[in-house]
Structure 1
Amino acid sequence: MKHTPTIRAELDRYLQQEGMSLTQFGHIAGMNRGIVSAIVTGNKTMSVNQLDLIITEAMDLPEGYFYYLFVENYIIDHPPNMRRIEPFLYRCAELDKLGVIRRVVGAIMDNLLYSPKLFEIAEELLSQGRHAAALLLYEGVAEAEKYQHSERLAVCQYRIFTIQIGDDQSQNLKAATLFEPFVERLDEIDQLDALKDLANVYRSLRKWDKVDEMAKKMRAKAEIQYILKHQQKNQERNEAAKKLSRPMFVYITYADLLCASVCDARGDYQQALQYTYAYADLDWVRETDDDTIYWVEMYQDWARCNIYVNKLLSGDVSVLSDYVEYIAETADTMEGEKLSKLLNVMIAANQYNLDVDDVLSRFKKDIDAFTQLPTSTDMYSQQVVPDYIAWFGYELAYYYLNRERYSDGFKQLLFAMVKSHIINNETYFINCIGLFMRFQVYATPEIKTEFSNLIEKVWVGNVEKNRTVNCCE
């Protein structure tokens, strides 16, 4: 039978090897002889702070060197003590010792009594930006409570969803699908942000039926909450509403905006206009604070923009010049919004064979900056904007290639392919390949080589990712 080594044994071996007394060692470690003696003899448990002193100050070993042994010696072999475990988990998070955290969670989560504290620690780690460590704790709590149907379980699943959302759209779809059944278990207020985040992920995936479903659920719930918010003597609900990332009314108007985007995607521009007119009319909003005024003005601006867009995409190209002037007037808006506005110009240009060279020249500096858009924790900026960047590159490539501007066209096409691969959007990637094949006769040898290298890189990556096959009956 294999015995697990102990920190005590390692320390005793070190003392003998160095010919060092307990007093000498204690002096180096900054601990008195009695504490060192108690640790070596096993009469005293060790804190993570004492372990760090022994490792870093006295034994000159890397930080976290004995952490796996600490779990075995002082957590698994003892009744779980959160006063010892909590600082240890924070320290593991600082050192990115994710395997150790996983071991601790696995060792103690058979007992549901530890769920509240681990959840609290996970929330604190999330607020510190230590997402990988927090994720392990949320997953542990969720696994332990999977049969409890608790609100804490739903919040864990929400946190897991938001942490896991990233560049890979296939993984994002999986994360959204796994989280969606838990939305109804969240607090009624939290459901609004959850539905908003799900809608934005589905929007980036172009799952329009799901966007429509999430938007309509969000609107119905937000309308109820808004009415309740303004009922007399409802201070508790008003306090709960402060948890939201937006003013309450925004969830109603954003639902209309999402429904309009669904109609746009389906080519129903007249219905999209009706939704746009709905979120342009905000006379019903009761609040008058600065945050509300900011969002009201934002929606009125978006409505003005999208009225132009719906008319333009429905074939009324007479509004193009007014729309371009509007883009110029609002040049100080967020870059993500400028991207979507110019994307609409390119979609219309390709759909109706419009010459927009003057527009591209006018906004060249902005277009060049799209590749450097900053990342954000907001789900729209994190998911929809990268999708628009890849889409814009494709539309720009299509425009240039069809106008025999092959150098510019292939440059944009390769850029769009790279971005599509990064976000794992197979539809965009395949569309880019098809566009390249149509115009490949005009590609230079260097462009063909770059194209082939990219295809091979993607192929090799897919082979590596899908190499293993699980056996089954």
Structure 2
Amino acid sequence: MEEVLEGKDATYLLTDHHRLDKCIELLHMRFAQHAWEDILTIADHLHSLAENMYNEAQKARSQKFPYLFKAERPLVFYYGFSYLAKGTALQKLGLYDQAREYILKYSELGWFSGLDKIGWEEVERFKFFAKANLFVNDLLSGKLSVLPEYVRFLEDNPEELLPGLVTIMETASLHLVNVDDLLERFSEKIEDFGNLEDATNRTHYFRFLYHRAVYYTKHQRYQDSVQLILLFLTSYNMINDADFKRFVVLFEVYRQYASGEQIEQYQNICKELLKHEKGISISDDDIRSR
């Protein structure tokens, strides 16, 4: 635990209250890095901290003593987030039955004592997250019968459509389901997603492109897959190195199916990237160190 929480990332672990927010910060960082094992460790630590503080608050109330809570969010948020983070990591590791247990844990936090208006709002948010994530967990685990209900859920909650389509494409690839009708159904929305600029939605959009590209390869639509890979790579200034490497590897695996025009486009993208590298000179097709 100390290696995860008290290394170079730990900049202000001063009190338990600070530790709560530091855990949230580290969890977001590890999510971006896909460090699922670390997330399990940090989530357990966050839960232990939140539970201890909840018990302390309960004891103070029973003795009619004030209990000063100084974190950025209500205590119920940290309690629920510890379950959400662990459930998500377990899901990413393919441990769907265990993930489901944790989703159910944050699906109903109304028993949490001492909730104020903001606290109740957090309870409702976690209830909504749990509903969405149960669909996701069921689909990824192969319970495809919930797909029509999930699609209705996405239509009723348009803010969930983009991450929802990521789940649908990943499910389609994992379980060889044809979802062309859904891609057509949401085609106008999908076109709009390419114009989103905030970091979270860009991340969802790139994941959607990746899983859609994989989906096309599973259905032997290789040139369609290559075209999506190129669409991703043209956004290189907005993507992280890990995602870039995944798409480059995907292109190289399916390079044999690319058209001459697609290969030329790929080479031009690579040349454009190399222009920004120090010590490398490009002249026509000749690339050399300076």
Same fold, TM-score > 0.5, yes or no: yes
Distance 1:228 1:338, change over 3 A: farther
Q: Is residue 392 from structure 1 mapped to residue 208 from structure 2 by the alignment?
A: yes
Distance 1:229 1:411, change over 3 A: farther
Q: Map 1:60-459; keep pairs closer than 5 Å.
A: 178-180=8-10, 182-184=11-13, 186-230=14-58, 231-232=60-61, 233-235=64-66, 237-238=68-69, 240-241=70-71, 244=72, 246-331=73-158, 333=159, 337-375=160-198, 382=199, 385-405=201-221, 408-419=224-235, 422-426=238-242, 428-459=243-274
Cα pair 1:397 1:410 within 8 Å, conserved: yes
Larger Rg: 1
% identity of equivalent residues: 26
Distance 1:464 1:206, change over 3 A: farther
Q: Between Structure 1 and Structure 2, how many residues are aligned?
A: 272
Deviation at 1:235, TM superposition (A): 4.0
Q: State how far apart, in whole Å, the 2-side matches of 1:346 and 1:278 are.
A: 27
Q: Comparing both chains, which one has the higher relative contact order based on Cα–Cα distances under 8 Å and sequence gaps of 6 or more?
A: 2
Distance 1:256 1:385, change over 3 A: farther
Question: AA paired with 1:344?
Answer: T
Deviation at 1:420, TM superposition (A): 6.4
Q: State how far apart, in whole Å, the 2-side matches of 1:441 and 1:422 are.
A: 27
Deviation at 1:374, TM superposition (A): 4.6
Runs of 5+ consecutive residues of structure 1 not aligned to the other structure = 1-175, 376-381, 466-473
Question: AA paired with 1:433?
Answer: V
State the TM-score, normalizing by the size of structure 1. Answer: 0.52
Q: Secondary structure at the match of 1:303?
A: helix
State the TM-score, normalizing by the size of structure 2. Answer: 0.82
Cα pair 1:390 1:419 within 8 Å, conserved: no
Deviation at 1:422, TM superposition (A): 3.9
C-alpha distance after superposition, 1:190-233 (max 9, x if no partner): 22122101101111110112111221111111122233334235
C-alpha distance after superposition, 1:298-333 (max 9, x if no partner): 2112112222222211122222222212211222x3
Q: State how far apart, in whole Å, the 1-side matches of 2:77 and 2:234 are.
A: 35
C-alpha distance after superposition, 1:121-171 (max 9, x if no partner): xxxxxxxxxxxxxxxxxxxxxxxxxxxxxxxxxxxxxxxxxxxxxxxxxxx
Deviation at 1:421, TM superposition (A): 6.5
Deviation at 1:341, TM superposition (A): 1.8
Comparing 355-364 with 406-415, which one deviates more in the overlay? 406-415
Pairwise CA RMSD of aligned residues? 2.7
Q: State how far apart, in whole Å, the 2-side matches of 1:363 and 1:404 are.
A: 22
